[in-house]
Structure 1
């Protein structure tokens, strides 16, 4: 075999070997990694590159080396799950950079970070003022976790005692003009329902590039032809408008009637309908 043939065969073989070991070691190997995983990944990649390009080297020795490093990495991860002290030694601990709003200068020096680098990490978290930070810790992966002071945190619905509808996972039910049947079933919808919704939008499945059912069971679509405007779902706003109109009509009937019994009945039902509107508002308001 020629040198080119050797390189092609070795490249394909080691690609399969590396893929196999990556699948065994798990997704953690391709996410934010620890010191040991970083070293292990570099070494395995270097061994694979050396064997692929080193035509005089023994291919079996390279596979053996990758196998050994893969086994060691797997064992280290396994032991780390069982032992906190071992995990702290291998992966390291988080380092506090800001505590109670004060920068920990000694910890910055220990991790060899400058104030400019700290500022850069904060800006990556959309924090531009150090004085806004209550607590910040450098994670073993190199990420900076930031907790803002309470007065600088975004207001949540819980802070305002507002009821918010719980969300369900949106389901992509149309992809490149084809129905994703598993997602359609997961959304609790049928093909008949999908056909009716597409008919309301005056589009066909073949014209839909992307279709998704949201948390409220409404269908939104994106067409191949971007010039065509598709109306947004109006089911919830229309239902809310109808409920408010009914409640207003009951109040008007109560004002117009001369019968005291009818007036009480209209006011009573208007009050009940208003209570129902308050309960349903988180679900029906966009």
Structure 2
């Protein structure tokens, strides 16, 4: 039939376009993840130009959170609470305690998102914290757990869970401040695990802010002594650098003393 002459090429064109669009999205996402790992290294304080140069390194060369194939089963189960989806990547922040997972859309989940999964020191009340919905340009009425002494927090977040008193204690002022600093966050707490998620495409700076917020919450309730989730590198190497700087300062001081001694001797000769 003649109409097939037009439908066939058109279908191929649509497939080519969608495939190319997906490829560009994946390339951009992978680039943002590389850039995030660079930002999470101790060299993140270096000038942006240096960070951009480091971003051209291969995955194996980056001294940041390392990719892993899996995380503890208790944390993997938290992914279902955050929306499921196809796992694109996992990164280890603290072995056996905390991980970053990047998830993409699948048949059940239509959104890409990133989440910090972490173990808690003890069982916590079940709770979900989400940004308070906006309806017709206005915040919806807050029908969740009430924080009457913190109206600013209630204007931003909806807190849901069956144990209001326990939730109120768990969401301390420090935890609420961390959420306020990252208002796009969704917090899920179930038994001895937490998940802090942000929905949307991967952005390196936003993912770093997510980890910083999770670090504050983990410091309050985390397992294993609540070590830092921020990649701090090799402290021994830092100590060596400080020792080298001290030694260099000592050498400079001795040089100055020698110069002062020579100047004093020269002055004595001039007087004579």
Q: TM-score range by the shorter chain?
A: under 0.3
Ranked by relative contact order (alpha carbons within 8 Å, sequence separation 6 or more), the top structure is: 2
Calculate the TM-score normalised by the size of structure 2: 0.22
Structure having the higher strand fraction is: 2
Structure having the higher helix fraction is: 1
Calculate the TM-score normalised by the size of structure 1: 0.21
